[in-house]
Amino acid sequence: MNKKITVLPGDGIGPEIVNEAIKVLNKVADKYGHSFDYKYVDIGGCSIDKFGVPITDEGMEKCKNSDSVLLGAVGGPKWDNVDPSVRPEKALLAVRKELGLFANLRPTKLFPQLADASPLKQEIVGGGIDLLIVRELTGGVYFGSRKTEEVNGEMVATDIMPYSESEIERIGRVGFETAMKRGKKLASVDKANVLDTSRLWRKTMHKLSEEYPEVEYSDILVDNTAMQLIKNPTQFDVLVTENMFGDILSDEASMLTGSIGMMPSASLSSGTLGMYEPIHGSAPDIAGMNIANPLGTILSAAMMLRYSFDMSAEADAIEAAVNKVLDDGYRTGDIMQDGCNKVTCSEMGDLVAERI
């Protein structure tokens, strides 16, 4: 099987971690008889430096014409003072919108080999953390209208947070379908005691839940969710929520594992096209030092195989290889433990590839 992958290495450690994911994908291709055709596109700060924009029209077309997109990371302090309209992060919003990537899947899984790295007590995480946050990605306050104006002698900023029934139903259905494939348990996160958007969200989700009687459905307020993720994270299977809440909660959940470097993510459209990336940032302070953790990116590549290419066995092989490397005691600096072998970014990629 031949698949076209648009590769967006980006800024900071992005090129380093993406290289290791491609190393692993190439090993998968060799073993399972596939071929992956990579097209490289500049995105973020490096694109601003070259072309004056965070992604070019030509680069966007390559993303649209691919079977999937693999992203490293964008941004850094170098571009903090550029015009807000061309900040590196603008490219991510543009790609999500242009490709129709409305559903963001962020798994949080505590690998048993790294249980000691979790900031939570062992009696809390001992049962194992394995949850998935389904985040709406193209609506809400991040895409609503905004303005800053002078009112009565002072500056006033306004951000609008719109959601339609169809947008809520679309992401809600992804949440229910995902829950059906996992533990058949779904919690819908909102702020219905305050926000009109959340009241519409809850009403729409209740109606949708009637189509999925096998799923144990519940509503939970976003502030309580934040508390419960610390108090009792093992109670959750799938959580579905709007854009801003999902952005915050998924970052909180990622730290339950002890290292944000381990966490992959998938952003999906209504078809098979998706964008896959680790959830950490560009880490410019360690860029070029070959010490970044590539496992989040490698696991994102596994999600690509599973969700966009329908290659479940190949995805399983990558995940099993990561587990084997951890079992064998290899660690990058961010997850280093006593008695383990510290390895570089490229060495970690080699070790995973060898175990495919």
Sign of CA pseudo-dihedral 235, 238, 242, 246: positive
d(CA 253, CA 239): 11
Phi-psi region of 52 (alpha: psi -120 to 50; beta: other; left: phi over 0): left
Catalytic residue (one of 130, 219, 251, 350): 251
Phi-psi region of 176 (alpha: psi -120 to 50; beta: other; left: phi over 0): alpha
Length of the chain counted residue by residue: 356
Query: And the tokens for 284?
Result: 């410019």
Residue 221 bridge partners (DSSP): 190
Catalytic residue (one of 42, 67, 190, 247): 247
| Residue of 188, 211, 210 lying closest to 200 (CA atoms) | 188
* Known active-site residue 285: no
Q: Enter the DSSP assignment of 188.
A: E
d(CA 350, CA 51): 34
Catalytic residue (one of 142, 185, 219, 350): 142
In terms of C-beta density within 10 A (0-12 exposed, 13-18 middle, 19 or more buried), how is residue 46 classed?
A: buried
Catalytic residue (one of 49, 196, 223, 310): 223
Catalytic residue (one of 191, 219, 324, 350): 191
CA distances from 22 to 17, 37, 288, 301, 349 (A): 9, 11, 18, 8, 9
* Known active-site residue 39: no
* Known active-site residue 251: yes
- DSSP of 137-182, one letter per residue? -SSGGGTS-EEEEEETTEEEEEE-----HHHHHHHHHHHHHHHHHT
Q: Is 234:122 a contact under the CB 8 Å cutoff?
A: no
* Known active-site residue 37: no
Q: Is 134:175 a contact under the CB 8 Å cutoff?
A: yes
**Integer-rounded Cα radius of gyration of the chain:** 20
* Known active-site residue 191: yes
* Residues designated as active site: 142, 191, 223, 247, 251
